[in-house]
Amino acid sequence: MILFRNVKIMELEPSAVSEPIDVAVFEPGEGDRGGTVAAIGPNLQKQYPGAKVAGEGGYLSAGLVCGHTHLYSALARGMLVDIRPSKDFAQMLDHLWWRLDRAIDPNILRASALAGCSDALKAGVTSLVDHHAGPECIDGSLSIIRGAYEAVGIRGILCYETTDRNGMDGARAGVAENIRFAREIDAARASGAKPLTEAAIGAHASFTVGEETLTALADAVRATGRGIHIHLAEDKFDAVDARHRFGKGPVERIEAVGALNDRSIIGHGLWLSPSEAEIMNAHGAFLAHNARSNMNNAVGYNNLLPAFANVVLGTDGMGADMLEEFKFAVFRHRESQGPWWPGDFLKVLHRGNKLIGRYFDRDYAPDCPGFGTVKAGAPADLVLWDYDPPTPLVGENIAGHFAFGMSSRSARTVMVAGSLRILDRRPLYDDARIQAEAREQASRLWKRMEER
């Protein structure tokens, strides 16, 4: 049993801040309800005298969710590689990212996944939705990433981004890796485990996925009961290409093969049509909005954002600091003169939990309150923030504090599935080793990129 004493519970949706109270958590393996919030009430230490105290005071919230990232880009930070200038997004993929993903080998992959997962936990992020590419190292790659998630103890949904751009053998290997990994997770569950990682069916983008591969992906979605995770209309070119080559918008293509469902994760979607937003909404699909990445790639702004029912926030590989991403999302939207306010983006930030629930709710009792809340019975993915605001912090102004003040440096103690991962800002795993190994593998990666 782990105890947080005298904490104010901060709920993001509906937004609320409680009076100071105690929160007790069942650790993993502690009975049927291991990994969930055990009780909330005053003086719980009396009730659970043997409980370990993990913090006193501050704000306790559900962990944050990053709805779309690329852990393979964790070692791209400050890259010292001769990259030709790019005049558009397609060239940026060619000159930079497709050289990088071809250079990934198992050691580079492991090191980048560990470094990215550790970064996320330190920022108060307890779930990371990853979209992986590495065409020279496909088979088994998702298990390597899973190993990193399990080693640092973070939750997430993994997939391999299937693409035709490296030939049809590569495309088939991508589909196979997604199915293989989904089966691996199914087998772990069947043996009674509650794996920290789940599987989605990954694909790169409409413009690199032809009809044969798209059909195979749709079959994989049906066979595994998962959702597709794909970039659509990140750049205008992707939407134009789909209409030109297939006579359909990118979302219409996915729907036409029966691959769109309420576990689908559509990255970016800047150039989708209003009717495509309606199609996604009708299927309960998620749109992962990555404001900062869109700015960095100069692909435009998603002015249709309010038309999508299930918007979540992602970083698209630019770290995993979701409070920072929240600020970018808010300010870029303000600049676009859109109708949303910080409170709308607080709902968007919180909605990542709904996505996580679609994949992980099955591991919890039917009466579980679900992810994204601090209530008895809820999954214990929690963050204790030691934020000490200069103005009152109440339910009505959490979004204002997130936009104009609070940052991830306030993340003090982080727990995933009832297991403490960061305690008083000290990772409970060997972070110095992870960072040292990452620097070594980053040098190797950059060297291998020069050869490609």
Q: Which residues bind Zn ion (CB under 5 A)?
A: 267, 316
Nearer to Zn ion, 40 or 104 (CB): 104
Nearer to Zn ion, 3 or 265 (CB): 265
CB-based burial, 125-156: b 16+ in 10 Å, e otherwise: bbbbbbbbbbbebbeebbebbbebbebbbbbb
Cβ-closest residue to Zn ion?
Answer: 316
What's the min distance (Å) between Cβ of 19 and Zn ion? 41
What's the min distance (Å) between Cβ of 157 and Zn ion? 14
Measured distance CA(162)–CA(140) in Å, rounded: 14
User: Backbone phi, then psi, for 200, in 5-degree steps?
Assistant: -115, 175
What's the min distance (Å) between Cβ of 65 and Zn ion? 16
Nearer to Zn ion, 109 or 398 (CB): 109
Measured distance CA(326)–CA(296) in Å, rounded: 16
What's the min distance (Å) between Cβ of 358 and Zn ion? 19
* Residue of 339, 206, 340 whose CA lies nearest to 272: 206
Measured distance CA(431)–CA(428) in Å, rounded: 8
Nearer to Zn ion, 316 or 381 (CB): 316
Nearer to Zn ion, 64 or 159 (CB): 159
- Outline where DSSP puts E strands in 206-336: 228-232, 265-268, 286-289, 311-313
| Residue 284 CA to its chain's centroid (Å) | 18
Cβ-Cβ contacts under 8 Å for 292 (sequence gap 6 or more) = 315, 316, 318, 324, 325, 328, 332
What's the min distance (Å) between Cβ of 56 and Zn ion? 39
Cross-strand bridge partners of residue 385: 59, 411
Q: For residue 424, give both structure tokens.
A: 């008083």
Q: Tell me how many degrees the CA angle 227-231-278 measures, rounded to the nearest 5.
A: 70
Hunting for tokens 């934020």 — which residue is that? 387
Nearer to Zn ion, 22 or 316 (CB): 316
Q: For residue 242, give both structure tokens.
A: 């789909």
What's the min distance (Å) between Cβ of 76 and Zn ion? 13
What's the min distance (Å) between Cβ of 64 and Zn ion? 18
Nearer to Zn ion, 101 or 316 (CB): 316
What's the min distance (Å) between Cβ of 452 and Zn ion? 21
Nearer to Zn ion, 70 or 350 (CB): 70
**Single-letter code of the amino acid located at 248:** K
